[in-house]
Amino acid sequence: MRGFGSLDTLGRPEYFKQEFNLEIPHLELFGHVQHNHLGVQDSVSVLSDESPPEGEAWMPFLIRKRRFLECIVLGWQSVENYVDQMAIQEFELLLYPKKTDPRIDILRDRVGFGTKVEFLNQMGRISEEDQKTIFEFYKEQNALFHGDIFTSRHPVVVPEPEKTRLMELAGKASQIAMNRTIGVWTDEGTGDLGNKGIAQPGKPENVKRINEMKKQFFGG
């Protein structure tokens, strides 16, 4: 697998659809510029139509350009999407064609994000460290966009060092989610080293037994 800075996952949806039965999120929020209340373009709230150069993926591009809100929104969109897809895979459901299996809608829309992440950890798809990183990003983005209007900080007033930390966290969480979705446990090329030296756990024993029973009964 190529590194995080060179793999343009958003530009190759058909490849991922065909190879991994994945649905890649698209950047529909780009294409116009927002101004703050003073009418001045703000590094936090600018939505630009500028795209990354060839060979650079969206997340590192947004981090490099310090496009804070876009980075956090895209990071969360990616993490949520990949967590959904891993849950769908664990139940051996087919993502395509759309709107044909109500079980997929139930998993996506009616099962809480935290429940799905914990389930994926139990099934050996993500590690404890992965879960910690994903939950940390979930908590941070939730505080930014869904906090109390009177007590939570507004994204515009987040200090620059904190923006850097949050953007790097968004990049790390989204890279972990993507790698685990396609079966990559650790990858030096993408800087995904949290699981280095840690063996990937298998399925729980009761799940293994059920799978063996399926093979015996159905010849799978």
Burial 69-84 (b: 16+ CB within 10 A, else e): bbbbbbbbbbbbbbbb
Average pLDDT (21-33) is: 39
User: Is residue 178 pLDDT above 80, yes or no?
Assistant: yes
Average pLDDT (30-38) is: 32
What pTM value is reported for the model?
0.75
Distance (Å, rounded) from C-alpha 3 to C-alpha 56? 10
User: Is residue 101 pLDDT above 80, yes or no?
Assistant: yes
Are 24 and 16 within 8 A, CB to CB? yes
User: Is residue 29 pLDDT above 50, yes or no?
Assistant: no
Q: How far is CA 9 from CA 2, 57, 106, 145, in A?
A: 11, 7, 26, 25
Average pLDDT (143-152) is: 77
Average pLDDT (120-134) is: 97
Domain extent listing, the chain? 9-218
- Other C-beta atoms closer than 10 Å to the C-beta of 181 total 23
Split at pLDDT 50, 70, 90, the class of 164 is very high
